[in-house]
Structure 1
Amino acid sequence: MNYPLLDTLNDPLDLRKLSAADLTQVAAELRQFIINIVATKEGHLGASLGVVELTLALHYVFNTPDDKLIWDVGHQAYGHKILTGRRDLFETNRQYKGLSGFPKREESIYDTFGTGHSSTSISAALGMAIASKIKGEFNRQHIAVIGDASVASGMAFEALNHAGDSDANILVILNDNAIGIDPSVGALKNYLTNVKTGSQGQDNIFEALNFKYFGPVDGHDIDKLLEIFNTLKKIKGPKFLHVITTKGKGLKQAETNQVVYHAPGKFDALTGELSPKNTAVQPPKYQDVFGLTLVELAKKNEKIVGITPAMPTGSSLKYMMQQFPERAFDVGIAEQHAVTLAAGIACVGLMPFCTIYSTFLQRAYDQLIHDVALQKLPVIFCIDRAGLVGEDGATHHGIFDLSYLRCIPNLIIYAPRNEIDLRNILYTAQLGLDLPIAIRYPRGRGNLLKWKLPFSTIEIGKAQNLKEGNRIAILVTGHFTDRALEVAESFTDRISVYYFGFVKPLDRIMLQRIFSKYASIVTLEDGVKAGGFGSSIVQEAAKYNYKGDIRILGIPDQFIEHGATEQLYESVGLDTESLRQEIISLLP
């Protein structure tokens, strides 16, 4: 497709050579360019479509990259990437060794701050503004673009509180479209709705924080945006601009069904219709095994409460929210609050299931330690997206959880090998535990069609011998268990496979048997090797003075970039053939 103006824009300097009247055509071309690429290559669609005019106006008025522009999260930064020298590479977006789906400092000088998780932009922009003042760069602008879901996070309010008490030259732009991935929630969302409709009878909350407030402004009116940005450039100190946009703007289906079109997969670029789904019967997604099983349990156990920080669809807590809205809560982008809320619920005898992505649980580490584990509160953490998650890349891989959880006292850690195990550990947890438990499971589908079997109780801390051999023992945890069995089968009777669902507590009786029988041991996990499951086995081996060879297989000591999940596992030697070669190297 031909893009007469967009094809001439290799960086924002080219954009600024155009007349303001040309920007409307550039907006139309940029929007269509994004639609055409994402329709076939996939990615985050709705957020970037919603900020096309805002992106153009920012780069047109402000002197980027000298002026610092920070996009919160980064879902909405596709237009920014295309305008800053990456147009011809954009079809590699989110593909292995291609462009990142998020702003990335290594990728471009225009990507001022690397993002991927929410609510960091104001803190980062304020830090840059303070540094500019110290260096005597008084005319440099510092702009944070943050969504209405992200601005409700505690970290964003911490930054607003600090910025409002400073004279830093910072502009916070609230991109208000009333939705993150799922619809925004909470009192602040209601306040912003009232601001938009002109019905609020309260003082302006941002002016109360010492920001000069402007807006609301139509975020799709380029002329209005240019006018107000040129005004704001001349005003020093902390400023707040409230911009109203429509997520998915310019594609009817994306505007109508904003949750699905946040990241819709492949679709028809002309009609907007989603590509036909595979109608063959498939194994369920792990998140759905969790969500549907929780509903089944909640029907019989009135003590069960569900909690998620802004991921009801992604975690499948939506099923419980639909059937038991009084017992299931989306608390917004507030991971710390979610964990301590669960602790409070557990304090008075109910059973909180806190479902949270592995990479997001890192944000509530203090609460996990002090508010839950220290007090031995039996919160049930259902940790989704464990292991490598594919195209979202380094910011989203759930590869650190086993390491950062294993060192916490009073915490049970379980990694189910399949859907049935996940179902049964959920059942076991709601029968009543004396300690908190972390249940971690991967993104995507399992392997079983018949998974909805009668419940059975899982004995805490017991490992299983799944295959008996006489030369080498593979000790594996989580969903890599089937991979270990596949590898072992090709060596007939030489390889044993032991499944350690419980990374903590370890089955020490089983370990003693293994140490006494095998001269070589291989540990296998889908997390980092440093401090993970394999490390725990090595620690135990040292206690028992084990003299054999132990080889830890897992994620190396590096951040893993984006790409298809199996591509990434192959790149770090965790594909089936690489595992076979490791075993061969240990055999006489």
Structure 2
Amino acid sequence: MDCSASQIMKNKLIMLIEPGKLLKNINCPEDLKKLNTKELHQLRDELRQFIIDNVSVYGGHFGASLGTVELTTALHYVFDTPKDQLVWDVGHQAYGHKILTGRRDQFHTNRVYGGISGFPKRKESEFDTFGVGHSSTSISAALGMAVANNEFKDDRHHIAVIGDGAMTGGMAFEAMNHAGDLQDTNLLIILNDNNMSIDPNVGALKDYLTDITTSKTYNKIKDEVWDLLGKVSKFGPNAQEIASKIENSTKAFFMQHSNLFESFNLRYFGPVDGHDLDHLVSVMRDLKSIKGPKLLHVLTTKGKGYAPAEKDQTKWHAPGTFDKVTGEIQKKPILSPQPPKYQEVFGHTIVELAKQNDKIMGVTPAMPSGCSLNIMMKAMPERAFDVGIAEQHAVTFSAGLATQGAVPFCNIYSTFMQRAYDQVIHDVCIQDLHVIFCLDRAGFAGADGPTHHGAYDLAYMRCIPNLVVMAPMNEQELRNMMFTAQLEKNARPFSIRYPRGKGVMPEWKTPLEEIQIGQGRKVKEGEDIAILTIGTVGNYALTAAEAVAKDANVAVYDMRFVKPLDEAMLHEVFRKFDKVITVEDGCLMGGFGSAVLEFMVDHQYTSKLKRLGIPDAIVEHGTQLELHQECGFDPEGIKNTIIEMLAPSNKTVNVQA
């Protein structure tokens, strides 16, 4: 299969969306700097419309990038990027940045297999100074750049753009604590405050920022301070003196109101209107002359400029394709009952279980709608917690709940669980606490790409003592695993992983049944070759087995558990079959196939074994099926492996049409 980007694009029907008359001539920020104020306003409008036009046709993250159009325009207009290092946090808000930095004509390939990434990516552009996808990293990265560049003494600037949602992550506070101690670093933190991450922000920081922006006393002082700041450039040699007055005025006010950012020894400026382009340009120009670490607080509206997105910001975070005129989000017609998303099965099942077991609680780090814990938050708000973008805290908070007899279901995307690995080991598993980790988005996450793929959890979870590691093949198995994990007699740590997207059972509300810990199941009898699977890719194995059914009798085993392995079943397999295939939607290095191979070697079996899964490489973005095809564990890939393994036995295999 030719997977080159050019061939991929030829295979797709691409409608190029024409940029406005100014935007079509902007190929880099240097072109932007040639515009006058009136033209800059027109460009801003064209940029916003270009994002609306493209995302409505091709999908992608929407509201966050609309909200930063003015901020993005001002940053590239004022600063000398890429010499001045601009770091975006997460990257949902960086579409305008990509368009203004030479990727306008490729933007229709955004998040498409073989196209440009939906997030800033160093290999893609020199303007993408740091690759991102997980939150709260920008301040640390920009600070590192600032320290490394101090030796050049060339006044280059280092700007971290971080949302108020990402600011809830502990890493951001660690970085600010360090930055405040390095007063010779040229660091500007821009707090893009829209009171949202994907869902509405939670916690004390949200209330604190809201209090700042609504304080009448503060805003009176703020207006006076920013009036002064706006005049800095007119005062020539007195600019530093006025900047000092501005700083002292801000500090004087916050000595009474305990400014959080000043306590980190960061000079605080703002809040300012993030949609007032002229004021943003003026403020940023003045801030360039103020040395040391500082923070500019910018107020924006997620979805700005598109009314439906402003009204329902969670829904329009990444809405898919839509009619830009009517605002109707386009969905494929449903011709028959459809399977639910796995996250929905989790959301409804935890409520069902919680009604039976009053010890059950739900915990998620800022993903209530993404993992469907919002269903429990609505039904039982006192027993479900969104702790903000704080995965480490989510795990240890769950551990604390468990010490007091609660049974927490801690739902974290597989890729984000990587950030709390120490807490899983140190706070949960060493203490053998009854915490149930539900890892959503396991395997390939699709168009979000390598920063969001859940490729590693089977490998990094199965090596931890005391932890049961399992994955369901379908919705019924997910429900039964959740039921089994919460039983008092099974009070120990559990990990249950499942993929993004729909399942396979339209009628999924099955009776809850206990599963014996460490027990797999045979889902298809066979004599010629055995396929061992973990998780939902078992459905691919069944499809492949049926495709060769006329001439090859393939046995399929759904192992269900990576730890503990069903050793009785494995002995049965290796005694009977001299050819075995393992299939997993996870990394081959140390994953499920490795566990089976270790068992085979430890027990001195000599079967020929072929492992299918995610190779030891960074796999880029695309649909889940496209990525499964690339890695060779889609139904066709499994079928070809069956044929290849049976060929040496001179057994002719005909494939059903």
TM-score (norm 1): 0.98
SS at match of 1:228: helix
RMSD, aligned CA: 1.1
Please tell me whether residue 278 in structure 1 is matched to residue 295 in structure 2.
Answer: no
Q: What is the SS of the residue equivalent to 2:606? A: coil
Please list, as runs of the form range in 1=range in 2, the aligned pairs for 1:122-271 lying within 5 A after superposition: 122-133=139-150, 135-167=151-183, 168-198=185-215, 202-271=257-326
Partner of 1:105: 122
Residue number in structure 2 paired with 1:473: 530
Counterparts of 1:310-349 in structure 2, within 5 Å, are 310-349=366-405
2:37 is matched with which residue: 20, 26, 35? 20
1:535 CA drift (Å): 0.1
Contact 1:346 1:352 in 2 (8 A): yes
| 1:495 paired residue number | 554
Say if 2:67 is the partner of 1:11: no
Residue 2 (structure 1) shift: 5.3
State how far apart, in whole Å, the 2-side matches of 1:303 and 1:575 are.
Answer: 40
Task: Measure, in 2, the Cα distance between the counterparts of 1:584 and 1:577.
Answer: 11
In the alignment, which of 421, 433, 436 is matched to residue 493 of structure 2? 436
- C-alpha contact 2:19 2:50 (8 A) present in aligned 1: no
User: Which among 450, 464, 483 is matched to residue 521 of structure 2?
Assistant: 464
- Compare 282-291 and 565-574 and name the one that shifted more: 565-574
Task: Work out the CA distance in 1 between the residues paired with 2:98 and 2:546.
Answer: 47
Measure how far apart 1:575 and its partner are: 1.6
Distance 1:21 1:311 in 2: 41
Matched, 1:513 2:572: yes
Task: Please name the residue that 2:453 is paired with.
Answer: 397
Cα deviation 1:558-578 (Å, max 9, x = unaligned) = 111001111111111112112
Deviation at 1:21, TM superposition (A): 2.5
1:290-322 Cα shifts (integer Å, max 9, x gaps):
000111111121101000000000000000000
Query: Aligned partner of 2:449: which letter?
Result: G
Listed one character per residue, the Cα deviations across residues 41-80 of structure 1 (whole Å, up to 9, x for unaligned) are 0000000000000000000000000000000000000000
CA displacement at 1:277 relative to structure 2: 5.2
Larger deviation: 119-128 or 221-230? 221-230
Any unmatched runs of 5+ in structure 2?
1-17, 219-255, 650-657
Determine which of 598, 610, 618 is the counterpart of 1:559: 618
Displacement of 1:491: 3.3
Aligned pair count? 587
Is 1:45 the counterpart of 2:100? The answer is no
| Structure 1 residues 464-509: Cα deviation after superposition (integer angstroms, max 9, x where no partner) | 1111211211111100111111212233352111110011000111
Partner SS, residue 459 of structure 1:
coil
Equivalent of residue 358 in structure 2, options 295, 302, 315: 302
Report the equivalent of 1:422: 478
Structure 2 residue identity aligned to 1:381: F
Shift of 1:136: 2.4
Separation in structure 2 between the aligned mates of residue 21 and residue 557 of structure 1, nearest angstrom: 51
1:527 aligns with 2:578: no
Alpha-carbon distance between aligned partners in 2 of 1:568 and 1:267, rounded to the nearest angstrom:
25
Whole-angstrom CA distance in 2 between matches of 1:283 and 1:489: 22
Task: Confirm or deny that 1:386 pairs with 2:438.
Answer: no
Tell me which amino acid in the other structure corresponds to 1:578. G
- Per the TM alignment, residue 449 of structure 1 is displaced from its structure 2 partner at its CA by 1.0
Correspondence for 2:509 among 416, 427, 452 = 452
1:403–1:528 contact (8 Å) kept in structure 2: yes
State how far apart, in whole Å, the 1-side matches of 2:348 and 2:600 are.
Answer: 40
How far apart are 1:547 and its partner, in Å? Answer: 1.2
Larger mean CA deviation between 406-415 and 486-495 belongs to: 486-495
The Cα offsets for residues 380-408 of structure 1, whole Å up to 9 and x where unpaired, read as: 00110011111000000111110111111
Q: Which residue of 1 aligns with 2:52?
A: 35
The structure having more radius of gyration, on CA atoms, is 2
**Structure 1 counterpart of 2:75, from 34, 40, 58:** 58
Distance in 1 (CA, whole Å) between partners of 2:137 and 2:411 is 22
Instruction: Measure the CA separation in 2 of the matches of 1:300 and 1:470.
Output: 43
**Which residue identity is paired with 2:212?**
V
1:409 matched to 2:491: no
Given that residues 253 and 273 in structure 1 are in contact (C-alpha distance below 8 angstroms), is that contact kept between their aligned partners in structure 2? no
Q: Quick one: which amino acid aligns to residue 460 of structure 1? A: I
Where 1:438 maps in the other structure, the secondary structure is strand
Query: CA offsets per residue over residues 82-139 of structure 1, 9 Å max, x none?
Result: 0000000000000001010000000000000000110000000000000001x32340
- Whole-Å Cα distance in 1 between the matches of residues 105 and 554 of structure 2? 50
Once the two structures are superposed, the pairs formed by residues 347-362 of structure 1 within 5 Å of their partners are 347-362=403-418
Q: 1:372 aligns with which of 387, 404, 428?
A: 428
Q: By how many angstroms is 1:271 displaced?
A: 3.0
Alignment correspondent of 1:89 = 106
For 2:560, give the aligned amino acid: G
Q: Which runs of 5+ in 1 are unaligned?
A: none
Please point out which of 63, 70, 95 is paired with 2:87.
70
* Preserved CA contact (<8 Å) 1:154 1:334: yes
Which residue of structure 2 lines up, in the alignment, with residue 120 of structure 1? 137
Q: Tell me, what secondary structure is at the counterpart of 2:182?
A: coil
1:507-559 CA distance string (max 9 Å, x none)? 11111111111111111100010000000001011111011211111111011
Q: CA deviation at 1:276?
A: 4.5
Aligned partners of 2:486, 2:465: CA distance in 1, in Å? 21
Structure 2 residue identity aligned to 1:449 = P
Which residue type is aligned with residue 525 of structure 2? Answer: E
Contact 1:391 1:564 in 2 (8 A): yes
Find out whether 1:576 has 2:635 as its counterpart: yes
Secondary structure of the structure 2 residue equivalent to 1:100 = coil
Counterpart-to-counterpart distance in 1, 2:580 and 2:323:
51
Q: Deviations over 1:147-186 (max 9, x none)?
A: 0010111000000000011121100000000000000110
Contact 2:534 2:562 in 1 (8 A): yes
Distance 2:98 2:467 in 1: 43
Asked if 1 retains the 8 angstrom alpha-carbon contact of 2:485 and 2:491, the reply is no
Q: How far apart in 2 are the matches of 1:173 and 1:260?
A: 25
